[in-house]
A and B are shown apart, each in its own frame.
Chain A
Amino acid sequence: MSTKDNRIFNPNGGRYPFRATDEYFDNLTARIMEQIPEDTPEEEVSEKNTKLIDIHRNRRRNLWISTISVAASLILIATFALKFTPKPNTSPEQAEDMKAEYTTENYNEDLMQYAMVDNMDVYYYLSTSSMSE
């Protein structure tokens, strides 16, 4: 073992060859406490959790609204499609008859139902528009 080894690995260990000034350690606590937010961590955490819960609630609500909207649109489309699509075992003549049955009056009724207006609304509209003319 060399002299350096003997010196380094002496039985008493060694001194760590770095120093830091007393001034540094005197101000250390104050400097660290400046970095610490005034709020208690518990309050911070509960605030964060509240935000997370809000986000989740909004997401869930939006998902429900979207699902209901899509379902309503599908039902509406299906209703109209069923009305206009001839049944597979109907002959072309029967289909023509069905088309004829589906008169302008039926169409207007469906339209009114779709537009969510009733006869009273139509009378009101017609009477006010004829008055303005």
Chain B
Amino acid sequence: MAKIDEQDILKRIQEPRTRRQAFEQIVNVYSRQLYWQIHYLVQNHEDTDDVLQNTFIKAWKGIENFKGDSALFTWLYRIAYNESLTFLKQRRQMASIDDEDFTEQMAPNFVADEYFDGDETQELLMQAVSTLPPKQRRVFCMKYFEDKKYEEISDIVGTSVGALKASYHIAVEKITNFFKSKE
């Protein structure tokens, strides 16, 4: 991932003449990373692409309010997470089924997904992940697939390390039970 000088970006964002160019640099640097963060939650390419675009449109609308109180990626991640939740809620409403049945009935068919690049076990793992609520899902994915430190995840999602550890533990337990139920 390309490095970004946040102080320089902040200055250019404050200046209307250079704002668009600075924003383009932000998109260029963070879009790939955000794509995967959104994918962990919505779990397919087309929806991830839609949510990612909405995220950047929202970010552009609010960029003048960004004063650098948090890292730029943290700020973007929080927009992306909220957009993903909104998307999941809409998808659930469109399916017109209650929350409990949602994960079971909407379990994606990963084998049919042309972007899926795994074997049978990995498909089972992704199905197990898809049963987790969003907060547990994001912690599990960041820890398991990216091997991020809890402190790093805490900075991004704004949750305490203790709460993250608990979430991850519960997620692992649920996934283990999911595998047991499939044996």
Which residue of B19, B57, B63, B121 is within 8 Å of A8 (Cβ)?
B121
Q: Are A43 and B16 in contact (CB under 8 A)?
A: yes
Interface mask (B45-59 → A, CB under 8 Å = 1, otherwise 0): 100000011001100
Indicate whether A117 reaches chain B with its CB closer than 8 angstroms.
no
Residues of A within 8 A of B87 (CB): none
Interface mask (B14-37 → A, CB under 8 Å = 1, otherwise 0): 001001100110011001100110
Interface of chain B residues 116 through 170 with chain A (CB within 8 A): 116-119, 121-126, 141, 143-147
A7 to B118, CA, bound (A): 13
| Residue total for B at the interface (Cβ-Cβ under 8 A) | 48
Which residue of A13, A17, A28, A41 is within 8 Å of B147 (Cβ)?
A13
Q: Are B117 and A19 in contact (CB under 8 A)?
A: yes
A99 to B176, CA, bound (A): 101
A32 to B27, CA, bound (A): 8
Binding site for A on B (CB under 8 A): 16, 19-20, 23-24, 27-28, 31-32, 35-36, 39-40, 45, 52-53, 56-57, 60-64, 110, 113, 115-119, 121-126, 141, 143-147, 172, 175-176, 179-180, 183
Task: Check A16/B141 contact, CB under 8 A, given A32-B31, A32-B56, A42-B16.
Answer: yes
Interface mask (A5-48 → B, CB under 8 Å = 1, otherwise 0): 10111001111111110000100110111011110111111000
- Can you list 12 A-B contacts (CB < 8 A)? A9-B172, A13-B147, A14-B122, A14-B145, A16-B40, A17-B118, A17-B122, A17-B125, A28-B35, A33-B23, A41-B61, A41-B62
A7 to B116, CA, bound (A): 19
A123 to B172, CA, bound (A): 101
Tell me the nearest residue of chain A to B25, going by C-beta: A29
How far does the Cβ of B157 sit from chain A's closest Cβ, in whole Å?
18
Q: Are B121 and A2 in contact (CB under 8 A)?
A: no
Binding site for B on A (CB under 8 A): 2, 4-5, 7-9, 12-20, 25, 28-29, 31-33, 35-38, 40-45
Q: Are A13 and B143 in contact (CB under 8 A)?
A: yes
Q: Are A20 and B122 in contact (CB under 8 A)?
A: no
Residues of A within 8 A of B62 (CB): 41
